[in-house]
Amino acid sequence: MIVARTVQLLGFRLRQEVLEWSGSWWFLLTLVVQAVVAPLNGLFVWSAVYPDDPAIGRYYVAIILVTLMTESFEQHTFSERIYDGTISHELLRPQPVVIGVLGTNLAIRAWLTALGAPVVLLAGFSLSAGFGWWPVLLSLPSVALAAVLVFLWTFLLSMAAFWTDRVHAVVGFGSQLIFLLGGTAAPIGLLPDPWRGLAGASPFWGMNGLPAEIAAGDPYDGSIAAAWGYQLFWVVVFVVAVWAVWRAGVRRYTAVGS
Amino acid sequence: MIGVEVDELTMSYRVPVRDGGLRAALGSLVRREYRAVQALDEVSFRIEPGEVVGFIGPNGAGKTTTMKILSGILHPSSGRVRVLANVPWQRRSGFLKRIAFVRGSQPVGGSQELTVMDSLEYQRLLYDVPRAAFGRALTTLEELLRLGPLLDRQLRALSLGERMRVGLAMALIYQPEVLFLDEPTIGLDVTAATLMREFVSDYVAQTGATVLLTSHYMADVASLCPRLILIDHGRVEYDGPLAELSARLSPYKLIRIAARGDGDAVVHELGEVVESSDGLWVLRVPRDEVARTTSQLLTALEVLDLAVEEPPLEKVIDRAYREGLR
């Protein structure tokens, strides 16, 4: 019953937000450019280092797609509403506030994926990156878990807006961790020790690199169950953290006069 | 069950402050300074179900903060609050479905690309309103708020008055039992403001809803609220009937008189003339001398018209804001 209602409310909210963002396609295009620049950099650098390794091209094409499908901007869509007080509208509604945040997140991702698809196809064709159906299918749950992880991580950091007006710096730092340890700056297998071990244990690899490695069919050599288990572990950790920080943050919320 | 119950409600918070100039701005990067603000100081009052209460005070008095606490948006620093027997800031779904908080400054939240009808449909879904009840409420609201021509318009394309009408419709489509109205007529023209007042009055008469209303327009307060709570510097300064406040703050009444011939000398002899023009005078006389003065005027002059009036509420309230009640 609760699940059905949540899905219904989320569906309605998603429809609203897709419509809302449809008027800003030019802005969404700039977000697409911003999202693909870092993976393209990695692609150019590592293709130059390993010109004969087709796995590098496949990996980075997958990274571009995973990045587009998991981008999160809660520091803009949620934190700004704390700053200007319009979060009050959400607090008055008889539904969890996260439904609205999630609806916006999914709508933006849907638009980014749709608008960024030509970039992915172009990169794939130009590099002759051939993907196998089976690895791609196997990667789908991992991509979904990556999307959940990135959302939870960004949402968690965005709630810093309850305490500080420098939320963009906080979330920016978090994004850099994803870039460095998540497999975009370099596939984590190419990182020197102890960075390789650190990245592999951190939640960031599960946000970008792991699903891309599974889709590319290489170099991930562990079991799929272990990969999903590792991602699920971090999902649980972040859900608990988000819940605790939300409870503390909403108590602190004081948008006086707004 | 008491509609709204507030006991010793206190709210304080810190706001960041810094001096002007680049040096202070750079300094604030490493060392931030804060100032404590006491928004509410042991505020207490009760509102019975079905009561309509005006909640007035100068800017920054604590009106909106109180309303935000009562509607569950803010957590107070201390004090006991119950609205329909619920603790508002626990924000239970069942409680939120029974209240509405409408702000004149932000009457409509959510997606601005949606049409009014889509937004109302979303409210239906959100507040679990059965389709039949939704249809009935919509018909009533369409009529009372003249919503018909707005239903297929996008929210972003509405004028301020239209947004306020839609905001009220969205808040009332689920028939809340307690209404918090924060400056509902702000920025509206005379016609729209009158429509709003009539609508709130009709809604209360039909549903028996409890209403707490803030407004800087005394016409709103005078026409809707038999009881006033006056708040200043976060403290309740007055809680009682509007007429009593008027009598307490202004020990005078106004006698408006129109007379034939030259009555200037007589009128000036009987009271303080505050206005005069071509056979019309307005006299300010102490309340306990109104009957005697009226009688003398009727005897001494060939009176065409005479009316005894309370002083304008704006002036009474202005005096309360500036001089206080103590």
Question: B98 in a domain, yes or no?
Answer: yes
Do the domain assignments include residue B317?
Answer: no
Of A26-40, A64-78, B19-33, B43-57, where does mean pLDDT reach its minimum? Answer: B19-33
Task: State whether B265 and B136 are in the same domain.
Answer: no
Name the residue facing A254 among B74, B93, B111 (closest C-beta): B74
B49 or B110, greater pLDDT: B49
Query: From CA A151, how far away is CA A78, in angstroms rounded?
Result: 12
Regarding whether B190 and B284 lie in a shared domain, the answer is: no
CATH number, residue B269: 3.30.70.1150
Confidence of residue A214 (pLDDT cuts 50, 70, 90): very high
Q: Is the dihedral of CA B236, B242, B245, B249 positive or negative?
A: positive
Same domain (yes/no): B183, B39? yes
Q: Which has the closest alpha carbon to B56: B246, B215, B276, B198? A: B215
Residue A34 forms contact with B (CB below 8 Å):
no
Residues 70-109 of A with CB under 8 A from B: 86, 88-95
Q: Is the pLDDT of residue A230 over 90?
A: yes
Other Cβ atoms within 10 Å of B208 Cβ, number:
11
Quote the CA–CA distance of B84 and A28 in Å, as a whole number: 45
CB B106 to CB A89 under 8 A? yes
pLDDT at B96: 95
Chain A residue with CA closest to B119: the answer is A16
| Domain-ending residue, one of B246, B262, B288 | B246
Average pLDDT, chain B: 87
Q: Look at residue B248 and tell me whether its pLDDT is greater than 50.
A: yes
Instruction: Provide the ipTM.
Output: 0.78
Task: List the domain range (segments joined by +) for residue B303.
Answer: 251-309
A257: in domain: no
User: Residue A229 falls within a domain, yes or no?
Assistant: yes
Rounded Cα–Cα distance for residues B121 and B115 (Å): 10
Q: How far is B94 from chain A (nearest CA, A)?
A: 7
Q: State whether A88 and B126 contact (CB < 8 Å).
A: no
Assess whether B104 and B218 both reside in one domain: yes
B88, B8: one domain:
yes
Give the pairing of strands B4-17 and B252-260. unpaired
CATH (domain of B69): 3.40.50.300
Residue A258 counted as domain residue: no
Question: Does any domain span residue B205?
Answer: yes
Q: What is the dihedral of CA A106, A112, A115, A117, to 10 degrees?
A: -100
Task: Give B325→chain A minimum CA distance, Å.
Answer: 25
d(CA A3, CA A234): 23
Number of domains in chain A: 1
The whole-angstrom distance between B291's CA and the closest CA on chain A is: 46
Q: A32 or B243, which is more confident?
A: A32
* Average pLDDT score over residue span B283-305: 88
In a domain, B277, yes or no: yes
Q: Which of A210, A201, A165 is nearest to A183 (CA)?
A: A210
Same domain, B8 and B130: yes
pLDDT at A64: 94
Judging by beta carbons within 10 Å of its beta carbon (0-12, 13-18, 19+), is residue B106 exposed, middle or buried? middle
Asked if B111 lies within 8 A of A17 by C-beta distance, the reply is: yes
Same domain for B216 and B78: yes
CA distance A159 to A152: 11
Q: Are residues B186 and B289 in the same domain?
A: no
pLDDT at A256: 47
B190, B257: one domain: no
Tell me which residue of B171, B44, B36, B47 sits closest to B106, measured CA to CA.
B171
**Highest-confidence range of B42-46, B284-288, B319-323, by mean pLDDT?**
B42-46
Q: Which residues of A touch B29 (CB under 8 A)?
A: none
Please report the pLDDT score of residue A258 as a whole number: 47
How far apart are the C-alpha atoms of A61 and A225, rounded to whole Å?
24
Our count of domains for chain B comes to 2
DSSP string across A172-234: HHHHHHHHHHTTSSS-GGGSPTTHHHHHHHSTTGGGTHHHHHHHHT-S--S-HHHHHHHHHHH
| Judgement on whether residues B179 and B265 belong to the same structural domain of the protein | no
Least confident of A65-79, B75-89, B217-231: B217-231
Q: What does pTM read for this prediction?
A: 0.82
Task: Using the predicted structure, report yes or no on whether residue B323 has a pLDDT greater than 90.
Answer: no
Residues of chain B found within 8 Å of residue A90, distances taken between Cβ atoms: 109
Question: In whole angstroms, what is the distance from residue A165 CA to residue A79 CA?
Answer: 9
Asked if B96 and A88 come within 8 Å (Cβ–Cβ), the reply is: no
In a domain, B323, yes or no: no
Domain that holds residue A70: 2-252
Residue of A nearest to B99 (CA): A92
Q: Does A4 touch chain B (CB under 8 A)?
A: no
CB interface of A with B, residues 160-199, below 8 Å: 165
What mean pLDDT comes out for the span A62-71?
A: 94
